[in-house]
Structure 1
C-alpha cells in the first residue's frame, strides 16, 4: 500500500468519526468517491442517484460524492472500500480485474459486436454473475455505467495501422489485459494513474494513451495529443462498487433503496453518455485534433491469440468468452 493511500485512509477515518457516514436523526450519508471530472456523465449520474435515493428513502439515506481523485486513484478507492474507510466508488473494469479476476473478460479487445450486444451482456445473467464475483474480495458490484469504446490518441504521429504503434510508449490502466493488448500491437504499455497522465504526456514520459472521447476531452489531453485514432479496441464499462463492510451494515430495505437508485442512475447515465461522446469528438476536432477512422480488422487480427490462451490456461474465462460471443 502506498504512503498516499495510507495517509488518505487515516485522514478519512478520522473525518468519518466526525461527520461522514454518520447517523444524525436517523439520516445516513453514503460516501462515494471517483476520479472523474464533475462534468462527466458518471458524476452527474451519481448526483441523480443521490436525489433518487433521498426520495425513495424519504430522506433517510443521502449521498456525498467526492470527484476528481479527492480520495485517491481508482485502485486506492477500492482498497479504502476493502478496509471499510469508504462506502462506494466507481472504477473501470480494467482496474477491478486486479481484485476480481473474472472481470478481465470484459476488457478483452473486440469482444463486443456493438452497443446493443454490450448492454445485453452487461444487463443479463453474465453481467450479474460478474458483479457478484467481487464479493469474495469484499467488493460488491451494483451496476455498470457506459464508458463507450476506448481508442488510441498520440502526440507526434497518427496511428493508422497496428505497425504505427511500434516503439511508442502508451499509457494504459493497471490492467494485465490492457498491457497484453498494447504489446500485441507492438507498443510499449506504461501504467500511469489518470491524475498523472496529462503531465506525463507533456513531459514525454509517454507518447500517447487510450481512452474514450469524453475522458480525452474533459481531461484536456487534447491540448497535448493532436491525433485521435478511432480503432475502438475495447468496450470497457465502469462499475459502481460498494464495500461489503458498508453493505452489510445496511438493512434489507436500505439495500433495496440503494439498488433501485443505482439502476435508475444507469438509465440516466447512458443517455448522457451518448450525447457526451458526440459532443466530445466535435469539440476536440474544433480544437485541432485530427480524428482518424480506421480499418478495425487490421487491429482485431493482432489480438485473436488473446482469446486462444484462455482455452488452455483458464477454462472459466474461455467459457465466458464463448457465452458472450453467442449472445444475439
Structure 2
C-alpha cells in the first residue's frame, strides 16, 4: 500500500507541474511560452529523439519565446490517459498512434486497414497530401488537433513458439492487438484470435503464454525487449499506422498566428528528422534481434493480402470507403 501511495504522489506531483506549465501557455506575452508534452516511449526511441529536435527548432525559430517540456516513458500515464489529459486541458501535447485515435476521430480507422499502401512513397504522399492534412483537423470537436505525422513503420507478426509463414499458421493463435476494433477484425479475418492486451503487460503475457504472439514494428519489438520471449518475427508488414502529434485546441487556439507558424515549422522539420531516425532504427533493430537469436522471415505477402479481402468487401462506412478510394488513387499517380 505505501508503494501505491508513493507512485500516486509522484504522478500527482508531475500533474501539478504540468498544470503550472500550462498556466504559462496562456500568458502569451511572457518571454517564454512553454507547452508540456507527454508520451509513453523510451528516451532512446526515435519518436522521443525527434521531439527533442522539435523542441530545439521551436526555440531557435522563436528566438527563445516558445519551447516544449517533455515527459517521456509514461511518466504521466498510458497513451489513452495522456490523450485524455490533453482533452480536458491538463496537458498541452502528446504523441498517439492513429489506431487508438479511432475512438475520437473515426476516420482515422482507415490507417488500420491492412495492405492499404503500395509502398513507402504512397504512404507519405497520402500523409503529406490533402487527405492526411484533412484528417489532422477531424478531432477538433473532441478538443484535439493533429499537428503532423511521425513514421511508425509497418507492423508485422511475431510469436513465442509457433513459426508463422502463412495465414494458415495463425489459426488458433492468440495474437495480442491494440485496443482497436480494426486491429481485432484484421487478425480475426486472417485466422488468428485477436486478444487486446496493454503494451506494458505484453512482455509478461508472452512470457507466460497468455498470448502466443503479437504484432508491431521492428523498433518497438526491439526496445520493448519482446525479442527476449519471442523466437520468430515475420516481416509481413500488414499495416502502416502513423503516429500523430496532437495538441489540445485549448493551447492551439490561444497561440497567435506567429506562434502557430513557429510550431508548425518545427513540427515539419521534426517529421523529416524522425523519418531518417526511424529508417536507421528499423535497420539496427532487425540486426540486433537477429543477433539475439530471433529468426526473421520475409513473408510472401500475396496470401496475406488475399486473406484480408473480406475486410474491404464488407466495408459499410461510406466515409471510409471514400477515403480508401482517394488513397488508392494517390497510389496510382506518377
| Aligned match of 1:122 | 127
SS of aligned partner of 1:144: strand
Deviation readout 1:180-208 (Å, 9 max, x if unpaired) = 00001111111122222112212222111
CA contact (8 A) 1:21 1:31 kept: no
SS of aligned partner of 2:260: helix
Q: Using the TM superposition, give the Cα deviation of residue 145 of structure 1 relative to its aligned residue in structure 2, in angstroms.
A: 0.6
| Aligned match of 1:152 | 157
In 1: Cα distance, 2:319 partner to 2:313 partner: 13
| Aligned match of 1:14 | 16
Tell which deviates more after alignment, 121-130 or 15-24.
Answer: 15-24
Distance 1:289 1:13, change over 3 A: closer
CA contact (8 A) 1:8 1:71 kept: no
Q: For residues 103-122 of structure 1, what are the structure 2 equivalents within 5 Å?
A: 103-122=108-127
| Aligned match of 1:314 | 317
Aligned residue pairs, count: 323
In 1: Cα distance, 2:321 partner to 2:193 partner: 26
Structure 2 stretches of 5 or more lacking a match?
A: none
Tell which deviates more after alignment, 33-42 or 11-20.
Answer: 11-20
| TM-score where L is the length of structure 1 | 0.94
| Aligned match of 2:64 | 59
| Aligned match of 1:184 | 189
CA contact (8 A) 2:147 2:247 kept: yes
After TM superposition, where is structure 1 displaced by more than 6 Å over at least 4 residues in a row?
Answer: 6-9
Q: Does 1:214 align with 2:216?
A: no
Coordinate RMSD, CA, aligned? 2.0
| TM-score where L is the length of structure 2 | 0.92
| Aligned match of 1:41 | 46
Distance 1:195 1:231, change over 3 A: same
CA contact (8 A) 1:69 1:195 kept: no
| Aligned match of 1:292 | 297
Q: Does 1:74 align with 2:79?
A: yes
Q: Does 1:92 align with 2:97?
A: yes
Q: Using the TM superposition, give the Cα deviation of residue 93 of structure 1 relative to its aligned residue in structure 2, in angstroms.
A: 0.8
SS of aligned partner of 1:233: strand
| Aligned match of 1:272 | 277
Q: Using the TM superposition, give the Cα deviation of residue 162 of structure 1 relative to its aligned residue in structure 2, in angstroms.
A: 0.8
Q: Using the TM superposition, give the Cα deviation of residue 103 of structure 1 relative to its aligned residue in structure 2, in angstroms.
A: 0.6
Q: 1:324 aligns with which of 312, 324, 327?
A: 327
